[in-house]
């Protein structure tokens, strides 16, 4: 009987998990393994002429490919700025919208809406805002901020992409922070207030440590989004001006699919995967240690 029940439980689990596992293997795992194999070849992705080159692609990337190294540096800078600002804004919005405001549900919807819009469409909308909208406002008001070449200069184009990224992602993180703040025990807060704790002390010593699981999740998501940023990049600046805002994802796309160097692009994607995996593992391990139980 026990063996029959175990087989029935296994069959039931396989019926539910099997289709999803099969899709994951075919869509994610199998192409990932294939890309590792392609990274050791010289192949244009189309012809049957595939040449085994060993570690040559990796050597070229790390020693000769300045464009990749520059895109890597840009992506790291963008990730730092985007992650910090997106989480800070999302947390501040969550603090604001957990107060007793009559319009808080409406405001939550408004702040979340940018995340619903696709990255490509969002990029084209903000491209119009930066070029036409800001230009018109600057012309009418004479305020120098609006007259900056937002997408035409390296420094301003960088911050332009950061602004759009933060505007898109903060609402999503806000929802996670709101859910976590709602779970903070009220009795602990009241006890701290009775003991004389002010608002900053309540936030730093009680609220923030108790919502660290949400911080772990939000940091993980925002780091992943920032490193993989592609749609905003290609729709806002296309990596310009002169490749100064080209992300790693866009650089890989250009080599693999525009320049027909799929082997080199695959090697870059493997390096990219290892870098992102290391960063996220370190981030999760650090923030997990700071989590406390209520």
Q: What is the pLDDT of residues 5-41, one digit of tens each?
A: 777 778 887 888 888 889 989 988 998 999 999 999 9
Q: What is the pLDDT of residue 84?
A: 96
| pLDDT, average across residues 243-264 | 91
Mean pLDDT of the residues in the chain: 88
Q: What is the pLDDT of residue 3?
A: 67
In a domain, 8, yes or no: no
Contact between 282 and 199 (Cβ < 8 Å): no
pLDDT bracket for residue 227 (50, 70, 90) = very high
SS3 145: helix
Number of domains in the chain: 1
Contact between 258 and 82 (Cβ < 8 Å): no
At 82-123, the pLDDT tens digits run 999 999 999 999 999 988 788 888 989 899 998 888 778 888
Residue span of the structural domain in which 214 resides: 64-289
In a domain, 15, yes or no: no
> CA 251, CA 247: separation in Å to the nearest integer?
6
Q: What is the pLDDT of residue 293?
A: 54
Q: Kindly give the pairing relationship between strand 51-52 and strand 41-42.
A: antiparallel
- Structure tokens, 62: 């790390």
In a domain, 37, yes or no: no
In a domain, 27, yes or no: no
At 125-137, the pLDDT tens digits run 999 999 889 888 8
pLDDT bracket for residue 292 (50, 70, 90) = low
In a domain, 92, yes or no: yes
In a domain, 35, yes or no: no
Return the CA Rg of the chain: 24
Count how many residues are written for the chain.
294
Contact between 237 and 247 (Cβ < 8 Å): no
pLDDT bracket for residue 169 (50, 70, 90) = very high
Q: Give the CATH number of the domain where residue 233 resides.
A: 1.10.3720.10
Contact between 118 and 168 (Cβ < 8 Å): no
> How crowded is residue 121: how many other Cβ atoms within 10 Å of its Cβ?
11
Residue with tokens 């490193």: 227
Higher pLDDT, 289 or 245: 245
H-helix or E-strand spanning residue 98: none
| pLDDT, average across residues 185-211 | 83
In a domain, 47, yes or no: no
Q: Where are the alpha helices (DSSP H) in the chain?
A: 2-24, 30-38, 56-63, 66-96, 104-116, 119-128, 134-141, 154-182, 186-194, 199-202, 208-210, 212-227, 231-236, 248-253, 262-289
Q: What is the pLDDT of residue 146?
A: 86
- Range from 92-96, 144-148, 165-169, 269-273 carrying the lowest mean pLDDT: 144-148
In a domain, 171, yes or no: yes
Q: What is the DSSP letter of 259?
A: S
């Amino acid at each position: 009987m026990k063996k029959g029940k175990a087989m029935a439980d296994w069959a039931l689990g396989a019926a539910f998990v099997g289709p999803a596992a099969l899709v994951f293997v075919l869509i994610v795992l199998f192409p990932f393994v294939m890309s590792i194999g392609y990274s050791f070849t010289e192949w244009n992705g189309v012809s049957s002429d595939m040449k085994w080159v060993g570690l040559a692609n990796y050597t070229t990337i790390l020693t000769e490919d300045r464009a990749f190294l520059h895109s890597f540096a840009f992506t790291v800078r963008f990730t730092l700025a985007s992650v910090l600002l997106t989480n800070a804004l999302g947390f501040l919005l969550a603090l604001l919208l957990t107060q007793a405001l009559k319009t808080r549900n409406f405001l939550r919807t408004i702040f979340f809406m940018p995340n619903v819009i696709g990255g490509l469409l969002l990029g084209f909308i903000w491209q119009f805002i930066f070029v036409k909208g800001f230009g018109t406002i600057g012309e009418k008001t004479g305020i120098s901020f609006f007259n900056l070449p937002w997408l035409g200069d390296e420094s301003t184009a960088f911050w332009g992409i950061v602004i759009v990224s933060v505007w898109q992602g903060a609402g999503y993180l806000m929802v996670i922070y709101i859910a976590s703040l709602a779970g903070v025990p009220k009795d602990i807060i009241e006890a701290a207030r009775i003991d004389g704790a002010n608002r900053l002390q309540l936030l730093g010593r009680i609220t923030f440590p108790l919502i660290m699981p949400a911080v772990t999740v939000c940091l993980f998501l925002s780091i992943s989004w920032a490193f993989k940023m592609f749609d905003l990049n290609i729709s806002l600046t296309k990596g310009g001006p002169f490749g100064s805002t080209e992300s790693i994802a866009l650089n890989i796309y250009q080599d693999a699919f525009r320049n027909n160097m799929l082997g080199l692009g695959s090697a870059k994607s493997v390096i990219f995967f290892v870098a992102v995996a290391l960063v996220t593992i370190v981030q999760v391990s650090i923030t997990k240690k700071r989590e406390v139980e209520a």
